[in-house]
Amino acid sequence: MDIERAVVDLANSIKTAIVPHLGEQSAKRLTGKTASGDESFAIDDVAEQVIGDFVRGHELPLAYYTEGCGLVSHPRAEHVLVIDPIDGSRPAMHGFEPCVISIAVGPNSPDARMADVSFGCILEIKGDLLFTAERGGRTIIRAGEASPPLRLTSTTDLDVCSWSFEVAGRPMRPTAQALASLVDRSSLRGGVFVFSSTAFSLTRLVTGQLDAVVDIGNRLLRDCPGLRGDFIEAGLGSVIGLFPYDIAAAALIAESAGCVVTDAYGGSLGPTALLDTSEANIQSCIAASNLVLHEKLLAEIEAGMRAVKPST
């Protein structure tokens, strides 16, 4: 079995099924909660159905883990697919561009870590770009038959930095406090964006459209446990944040392209348990196109966290 080919085919099958629903009113219907506690929409259910049908229909000896279903085992599986069938469900159901299909391949083991991911695939839903990377190899971008080059920026000045951050399920007041200085520095001469899709954002480092990607949600909660009630309120009853399925494929793709990707403390995401979506395994992320910018971002966020702590 060519598992990499199967992953790309699965991504394209999911895309084919959900494109007709992009921006449709029916796609926005709430259908429940995902395994991680996030909200689930009708468009997510369409994508989830494709996965089971594809794996069974092609008789693939694969386990898979999805945002909606959790782990679906297979008695002969050596590999597990970690799938976010729509990373960016909210943009997708409104017909916006920042939404992608994310699939990572790891060993079928309860002890699997993000460092064990051997292959990552990100496919744009509204666009034509396909991003893939093998562990130990280089990131490849495909646009139909073409192979556009990687375009990491060399930006090191925070004043002209273009970056995105995440707000879904993160309490806005402390998030704004921690990031206020960075936003004020860069919003006019650089750019500050909220895409609601971490996988999409990380691929924009590879295309050169962004210099950095920031998600400090989990650091806020760890450093300021008194904010847990705010997280529960923002997450409508659950603590929501950056789960392994959000980032497993995209982190490998960004790192293989030459980006620096860590948690919001500067630590490696490699030890993160791949199949655990408990609150204890939620992560943060600071990613940058180069090491100098990454170090400056960490210093700025460290200062921003000091602004939050006295009020919590």
Per the structure, the count of domains in the chain is 2
Nearest to 194 by CA among 172, 168, 173: 168
Angle, CA 100 vertex, CA 150 and CA 4 arms, to 5°? 70
Q: How far apart are CA 233 and CA 22, in angstroms?
A: 28
Q: Are residues 129 and 22 in the same domain?
A: yes
Q: Are residues 304 and 222 in the same domain?
A: yes
Domain CATH code at residue 46: 3.30.540.10
What pLDDT does 122 receive?
A: 98
Look at residue 168 and tell me if it is in a domain: yes
What pLDDT does 311 receive?
A: 65
What pLDDT does 312 receive?
A: 65
Low-confidence ranges of the chain (pLDDT < 50): none
**Chain-centre distance of CA 186, in angstroms?**
23
pLDDT one-digit tens code per residue, 133-151:
999 999 999 999 999 999 9
Range of the domain at 181: 158-311
**In the beta sheet, which residues pair with residue 105?**
81, 119
Domain CATH code at residue 163: 3.40.190.80
Stated pTM of the model: 0.95
pLDDT one-digit tens code per residue, 49-66:
999 999 999 888 999 999
Q: Which of 117, 143, 169 is the last residue of a domain?
A: 143
What pLDDT does 168 receive?
A: 92
